[in-house]
Amino acid sequence: MPLRALGGTALVTAVAWGAYEWASSSGHGTIGMVAGILLVPAALAFAAALAVTLTKLVRGALVAAAARRRDRDGSAGPGGGPAPGEDVARLAAGDQLTA
């Protein structure tokens, strides 16, 4: 699930950000510095997880759109031949395959 990594890094980033905000607003300089240092890799991990999640979602949408178009156009495979798995479906229905 692509959202699991995004949710985990969002939670870690939110906790680090909250610790940084609390420490900087209440005058705890050392804790704020440590929290700020830990916030940088958490924010980078969140950005990477967001990029991966968006890439997976876009790829899934493109695959679904290609499948809908292939179904609408008569399920022709690359080069005008049968789509992958079409021969198996025809054999299962009892049709003879020709070369």
Q: Look at residue 91 in the predicted model and tell me its pLDDT.
A: 56
80 lies in a domain? Answer: no
Give burial (CB, 10 Å; 0-12/13-18/19+) of 96. Answer: exposed
Whether residue 18 is contained in a domain is answered as: yes
Q: What is the per-residue pLDDT across 3-50, written as a single tens digit (0 to 9) for each?
A: 788 888 999 999 999 999 999 899 888 888 998 898 999 999 999 999
The fraction of the chain above a pLDDT of 90, given in percent, is 27
Residues 95 and 29: their CA atoms lie apart, in Å, by 78
Domain count, the chain: 1
Q: pLDDT category, 93, cuts 50, 70, 90? A: low
The residue assigned the tokens 């198996």 is 88
* Residue 22 confidence (pLDDT): 93
- Does some domain include residue 87? no
Domain-located, residue 49: yes
Look at residue 40 and tell me if it is in a domain.
yes
The answer to whether residue 79 sits within a structural domain is: no
Residue 65: inside a domain, yes or no? yes
- Binned at pLDDT 50, 70 and 90, residue 83 comes out as low
Computed over every residue of the chain, the mean pLDDT equals 79
Domain of residue 30 covers 2-73
pLDDT of residue 51: 93
